[in-house]
Structure 1
Amino acid sequence: MTAHSSAAQVAAQTEEPQGIDLFLPAGYDLLWSSITILIIAAVFYKLVLPQMNRVLDERASLIEGGIEKAEAAQKAADEALAQQQQLLAEARADAAQVREEARAEGTAIVKELKAKASEEAERISETAHRQIEAERQAASVSLRTEVGALATELASKIVGESLEDSARQSRVVDRFLDELEASQTVASNKEA
């Protein structure tokens, strides 16, 4: 029976698992699987994990450095913008001041030119009045001379005596002109 019993044992060992045993592995499979997992975990922990941590740390430091650089660049851009706005405000203020100075200077120039033009017009008017007065006096002297000569000649013919004497001639002419001016004054007073 030994042969039969050993055959029964072999048959029992090769028997297919049934029910829940289908899901549970054999004890020796669990043992060898656990040993393999421990070896792989040890290799991963000793070799792969430190390498991965180093790469992740490098990337983290690069990212942090990039963020710091971006923050510094943003701060510099903000400062540059503030400075540019300040310069622009100063330039606008300077431009407004220059415009005001130009306006004031233009007003002063216009006033100065008006004053010069007024002075020039007054000088020209005064010169014209003096010239007119000089011409009037010259015309009066010329007229007196001509009227005097005519009056003397006429008086000589009327009186019948010669009025060649200068003093006499001058007295006659002056008297005649005084009478003529008096009659014109009386005539203009009657018209007014």
Structure 2
Amino acid sequence: MINGVIRAATEGETINPLVPQWYDIVGSLICFVVILIFFWIYALPRMKKMLDARAEAIEGNIAKADEAQNKAEALLEEYTAQLADARAEAGRIREQARTDGAKIVAEAKDNAAVEAARVTANAQAQIEAERQTALVSLRSEVGSLAIDLASGVVGEVLTEDKKAQAIVDRFLADLEASEKAGTTN
């Protein structure tokens, strides 16, 4: 193009530098058509194939992500249901433990009351037995003391006689009767 401008300047023609020459247009057109055919036949199908593969991969990944999200939501719902069941079961176990504890406490109280009653009854029986033993022992000692005193007062030996035993028994009976009369007043 510079050659055309120089020649035009020397020949005296006025050439517009913005309008190309016909051979420049033909050469550019041939280059454009060759590049267009190359892109149309080779580059464009490969790009389309690559873009389709990428789109399929993205769609596959989206589908996988949706599937994973659905699975996660299902697992979350299952976990929540299991957690609710576990909480309900724990509540039932706690309630059962409370009732069992109350039963055990009640049984322990009943057993303690029965044991206390048994110990009290045994103690009462033992006290009564000891009282009877003490009463018999006291009667014999009081009787022998009374006979010894009476023997000293009378001046005779009264220990061998059944009559002396009857006197001692009557004396003790009178003593008990006077004691009972004194406690009731």
TM-score (norm 1): 0.81
Other-structure match for 1:114: 109
Cα distance in structure 2, aligned partners of 1:123 and 1:106: 25
Other-structure match for 2:96: 101
Counterpart code for 2:142? V
* Correspondent of 2:161 among 154, 158, 165: 165
Counterpart code for 1:30? I
Aligned Cα root-mean-square deviation (Å): 2.1
Which 4+ stretches in 1 moved above 3 angstroms? 156-163
* Correspondent of 1:30 among 25, 34, 44: 25
In the alignment, is residue 88 of structure 1 matched against residue 83 of structure 2? yes
Shift of residue 66 of structure 1?
0.9
Cα distance in structure 2, aligned partners of 1:147 and 1:107: 57
5 Å-filtered alignment, 1:173-188, equals: 173-188=168-183
5 Å-filtered alignment, 1:1-192, equals: 11=11, 15-17=13-15, 21-163=16-158, 164-166=160-162, 168-190=163-185
Shift of residue 16 of structure 1?
4.1
Unaligned regions of 5+ residues in structure 2, if any?
Answer: 1-9
Unaligned regions of 5+ residues in structure 1, if any?
Answer: 1-9
Counterpart code for 2:101? G
Shift of residue 85 of structure 1?
2.0
Deviates more, 1:31-40 or 1:114-123: 31-40
Shift of residue 31 of structure 1?
3.0
TM-score (norm 2): 0.84
Aligned pairs, number? 175
